[in-house]
Amino acid sequence: MQVEEEEYVPCFSEVDKLQNYGINAADLTKLKSAGLCTVLGVLMTTKKDLISIKGLSEAKVEKILEAAQKHESASFMTGIELQGKRQQVFRLTTGSSALDNLLGGGIESSAITEAFGEFRSGKTQIALTLCITAQMPKTSGGGMGKVAYIDTEGTFRPERIAQIASRFNLNPEAVLENILYARAYTVEHQFQLLTLIAAKMTEEPFALLVVDSIMALFRVDYSGRGELSERQQVLGKMLSRIMKISEQYNIVVYITNQVMADPGGGVSFVPDPKKPIGGHVLAHASTTRLYLRKGRGEQRICKIFDSPCLPEGEATFQIGPGGVEEASE
Ligand code: ATP
Ligand code: MG
């Protein structure tokens, strides 16, 4: 299935719109090369960070910010206006209705959803299934858009995508064609990929960004205890950038995370002491946190760990040839 261009109405203003407010094309190119491709993206960036973009003086930045504020009328809005804005938010089906129900209808766009759990708990399988549902029409619980996939662990498998696509009666080739995949090797690389993807999202409709996993490279690149505070600072920056991407383009962001082997320093008597890594920085950035664990056989249990609007609860699903499926019982 192709993502149909004619149905695509962008939900954001391209940064080029600032030309109407007297910002010249050369300066707009500078913004875009720094990954700021939308007017909202500019507004979400501090003056300090804008001045650090090569070739932009303080005076220019002030002019740009003023133009951006005018364009977006960035100020207070009423609750009703916010409600109208929130109506663009969609929910992406996971492939299991039990899991969708737990999530209030699916994974919410314009937010970050984090899944953590032990190895083989299904984190990647959910990501792969979402790669297909993201491309389905909105009336079938899809996102009607393309997919960006940042893989830090090398576990993305095109043949698995093809297999899951056939379950949904979609053409595997067409589905793969709509996935932009990148393997990241360092934290810096992960940052660069986010900048590149933001530019792509301005050009074409996207529905999903996957980062599998968010923490793996941070763990490698900042290994010592002495590097922990720096690690958390850089992590905070990255998550803030991801959050801004999800809000600017109204896309679903699904990130996976690992669990700490022994959070209690060996003295924990809690029956299930598994905790996600990434500390408070990640805890605050993720809108919804899901804890996955293994059940009997191919069954997996998902528990809402933290959410602004979902009640605590659990759902059982199963991993099969078609990806995330209903638990059979
Ligand atoms: P890790 O922390 O190692 O990345 P994960 O949580 O990402 O683990 P997944 O890769 O999502 O784990 O899940 C792996 C499980 O998915 C396998 O143990 C297997 O049970 C199931 N699985 C993978 N491929 C298939 C398939 N083709 N058919 C059925 N089940 C599969
Ligand atoms: Mg995995």
Ligand 1 touching residue 279 (CB < 6 A): no
Integer Cα distance of 257 and 107 in angstroms = 16
Integer Cα distance of 20 and 67 in angstroms = 9
Q: Which of 96, 89, 104 is nearest to 143 (CA)?
A: 89
Ligand 1 touching residue 119 (CB < 6 A): yes
Instruction: Work out whether strand 146-151 and strand 179-183 pair parallel, antiparallel, or are unpaired.
Output: parallel
Q: What angle do CA 47, 13, 142 make, to 5 degrees?
A: 120
The predicted pLDDT at position 84 comes to 80
CB contact burial 94-130 (16+ within 10 A = b; e otherwise): bbbebbbebbeebbbbbbbbbbbbeeebbbbbbbbbb
Q: Is 316 exposed, middle or buried (0-12, 13-18, 19+ CB in 10 A)?
A: middle
Q: What is the CA(184)–ligand 1 centre distance, in A?
A: 21
Model pTM score: 0.89
Ramachandran area for residue 34 (φ above 0: left; ψ -120 to 50: alpha; else beta): alpha
Q: What is the CA(69)–ligand 2 centre distance, in A?
A: 41
The tens place of each residue's pLDDT in the chain, 329 residues long, gives 455 444 566 778 899 999 999 999 999 999 999 889 999 899 989 999 999 999 999 999 999 999 999 888 767 788 887 888 788 899 999 999 999 999 999 999 999 999 999 999 999 999 999 999 999 999 999 999 999 999 999 999 999 999 999 999 999 999 999 999 999 999 999 999 999 999 899 999 999 999 999 999 999 999 888 899 999 999 999 999 999 999 999 999 999 999 987 545 555 555 455 789 898 999 999 999 999 999 999 999 999 988 888 888 999 999 999 999 999 87
Ligand 1 touching residue 318 (CB < 6 A): no
Full set of structural domains in the chain with CATH: 15-71 (1.10.150.20), 85-326 (3.40.50.300)
The predicted pLDDT at position 127 comes to 98
Q: Which atom of ligand 1 is nearest to the CA of 213?
A: 4
Protein residue with least CA distance to atom 17, ligand 1: 120
Ligand 1 touching residue 296 (CB < 6 A): no
